[in-house]
Amino acid sequence: MNEFDPLFEPELSRLDAQHWLRQCRVIESACAPEIVYQGRRLILMASNDYLGLANHPAVKEAAAQAIRQYGIGAGAARLISGTQPPHHDLEVALAKWKDAEAALCFGSGYLANLGLLSSLAGPQDIILADRLCHASVIDGCRLSRARLRIFHHADVDHLERLLKRRPAVRRTLIVTDGLFSMDGDLAPLSALARLANQYEGLLVVDDAHGTGVMGAHGRGSLEACGVEADVPFHMGTLGKALGTSGAYVVGSETFVRFLVNTARTFLFTTSPPAAMAAATIAALELLQREPDRRARLWANREVLFQGLIRMGLRLTATASPILPVIIGDEALALGVAQALLERGIYAPAIRPPTVPKGSSRIRLTVTAEHTREHLDQVLHAFQDILASRSLT
Ligand SMILES: Cc1ncc(COP(=O)(O)O)c(C=O)c1O
């Protein structure tokens, strides 16, 4: 307690009264299908480590080897003296994987979205963004100071109405997540690309969750929707299916040079450690060399999805390993998360402002490393909870 606390307490009390208050929970083990929390072994159903690479021996060894060679910190921003061979090699590997001319890495997806959107747009421009875009996308739009219009989620007709009504601007951006993080559904990328073309706009896709998961080769939502050749650049993150940390933008060489020179979240921040880049190179190799991981992920997804549906639980229109069980009320969602915890399942309640009011949910995420026993235990836990309270 100190004399300044009264400045902050009212806000905390308000959040608490709404059941919106959050706090960090300390997980006492590595990110894996089974974790240790408060000394208990639990099944983790909340990570984005879709392919099980976050704790993979080859990925960890690549980081350890790079630490031995390059140390921990890069010591400066990328453009000063913070670019070491793994940074360069990762960008080459990402560009090759995506069949793009070039790639640029950022310290996180949040930073990539702020940098990308504020470089692309300014006060003389307009951005049309899907209502369910990630917070970092919305913050990037705001930072750009462009006019911002929100279209109904995945509603191409609404977007087109807004496009027709837009004022004369220098540049029009259509912005969407590829795979929506809290609903698990795919954006209508083919229709969005068509509209971008028709109205001379730029389509900006955040494929944080699609990367490594969607598409026949795991190249992401653009691959899944068959629009890789139609979208000139896009971003994705490295902290989800690739199991490491950071983000990338892929596009033409000119576009990447433009970002290197304009994206403030690239220019004015210390370079991520070379070890992280080395680990990501190893993860990217595994992703490409072991398609089986993706096959296991999708098989697991199907088992859990079908089981939840059979129970009559209300899910979003998910098309991915993100399986959100809609509860609605914040307090009830917290109660279900607690009941799951008591049954050995770690899957926190997702509440506003992360999701719209009244749509609080248990967001289950499946990974390639979950076993059939893990998934059965999750289904049993839900069955048990349903026996004592109504969730539908
Ligand atoms: C759609 C989306 N974009 C961006 C981010 C931010 O990425 P990062 O965690 O690397 O900052 C996330 C999640 O964290 C996300 O779900």
Check residue 392 and give its pLDDT: 62
Q: Is residue 11 a part of any domain in this protein?
A: no
251 Cβ below 6 A of ligand 1:
no
Residues 318 and 173 in one domain: no
108 lines ligand 1 (CB under 6 A): yes
Ligand 1 neighbourhood includes 211 CB (under 6 angstroms): no
Ligand 1 site, residue 134, Cβ cutoff 6 A: yes
Atom of ligand 1 nearest to the CA of 179: 1
What token pair was written down for 371? 């076993």
Do residues 308 and 162 share a domain? no
Q: Is 175 inside a domain boundary?
A: yes
Same domain, 160 and 276: yes
The last residue of a domain, from among 256, 274, 289:
289
Active-site entry in 118, 136, 181, 245: 181
273 and 303 fall within a common domain: no
Would you say the CB of residue 136 lies under 6 angstroms from ligand 1?
yes
206 in ligand 1 pocket by Cβ < 6 Å?
yes
User: Does 297 lie in the same domain as 285?
Assistant: no
Amino acid type, 73: G
Q: What is the number of the ligand 1 atom nearest to the C-alpha of 136? A: 4
CB of 239 shorter than 6 A to ligand 1? yes
Any residues with CB less than 8 A from the CB of 69 and at least 6 apart, and which? 274
Q: Six-digit token pair at 392? A: 């539908």
Shared domain for 199 and 229, answered yes or no, is yes
The residue whose CA has the least distance to atom 4 of ligand 1 is 109
Task: Output the residue whose Cα is nearest ligand 1's atom 8.
Answer: 109
Is 216 domain-assigned?
Answer: yes
Are 248 and 337 in a shared domain?
no
Please check whether residues 370 and 231 belong to one and the same domain: no
- Which CATH number covers residue 244? 3.40.640.10
CATH number for 42: 3.90.1150.10
pLDDT of 19 reads 85
CA of 237 to the centre of ligand 1 (A): 7
pLDDT for res 389: 74
Same domain, 63 and 211: yes
- Is the distance from CB of 277 to CB of 90 less than 8 angstroms? yes
Q: Is 280 in the pocket of ligand 1 (CB under 6 A)?
A: no
Work out which ligand 1 atom sits closest to the CA atom of 111: 11
Residue 322 CB less than 6 A away from ligand 1: no
Task: Compute the distance from residue 112 Cα to the ligand 1 centre, in Å.
Answer: 9
Q: Distance (Å, rounded) from C-alpha 86 to C-alpha 267?
A: 18
Closest residue by Cα to atom 10, ligand 1, is 109
> Domain check: are 167 and 305 in the same one?
no
Domain count, the chain: 2
Assess whether 181 carries a catalytic annotation: yes
Of 229, 255, 289, the one marking the end of a domain is 289
| Statement to judge: residues 279 and 327 lie in one domain | no
Q: What is the position in ligand 1's atom list of the atom closest to the CA of 108? A: 10
Answer yes or no: is 361 within a domain.
yes
Evaluate: CB of 265 within 6 angstroms of ligand 1.
Answer: no
Which residues does residue 367 pair with via DSSP β-bridges, in sequence order? none
pLDDT score for 254: 98
Ligand 1 centre to CA of 117 (Å) is 14
Q: What angle do CA 294, 299, 303 make, to 5 degrees?
A: 145
| Strand 360-365 with 40-44, pairing | unpaired
Annotated catalytic residue, options 240, 245, 359, 370: 240
Distance 3 CA to ligand 1 centre (A): 36
Omega before 273 within 30 of 0, i.e. cis: no
Last residue of a domain, one of 234, 258, 289: 289
Q: Where are the alpha helices (DSSP H) in the chain?
A: 9-17, 57-70, 85-97, 109-120, 135-144, 156-165, 189-198, 221-224, 253-262, 264-267, 274-289, 291-310, 330-342, 372-388
Parent domain of 241: 57-289
* Choice among 134, 209, 370, 374 that is catalytic: 209
Backbone phi and psi for residue 220, each to the nearest 5 degrees, phi listed first: 120, -170
Q: Which residues make Cβ contacts (< 8 Å) with residue 117, sequence separation at least 6?
A: 127, 137, 140, 141, 143, 144, 173, 175, 204
* pLDDT tens digit at each of 392 positions of the chain: 899 999 999 999 999 998 889 899 999 999 999 999 999 999 999 999 999 999 999 999 999 999 999 999 999 999 999 999 999 999 999 999 999 999 999 999 999 999 999 999 999 999 999 999 999 999 999 999 999 999 999 999 999 999 999 999 999 999 999 999 999 999 999 999 999 999 999 999 999 999 999 999 999 999 999 999 999 999 999 999 999 999 999 999 999 999 999 999 999 999 999 999 999 999 999 999 999 999 999 999 999 999 999 999 999 999 999 999 999 999 999 999 999 999 999 999 999 989 999 999 999 999 999 999 999 999 999 999 999 876 76
Contact between residue 236 and residue 266 where contact means Cβ atoms under 8 Å apart: no
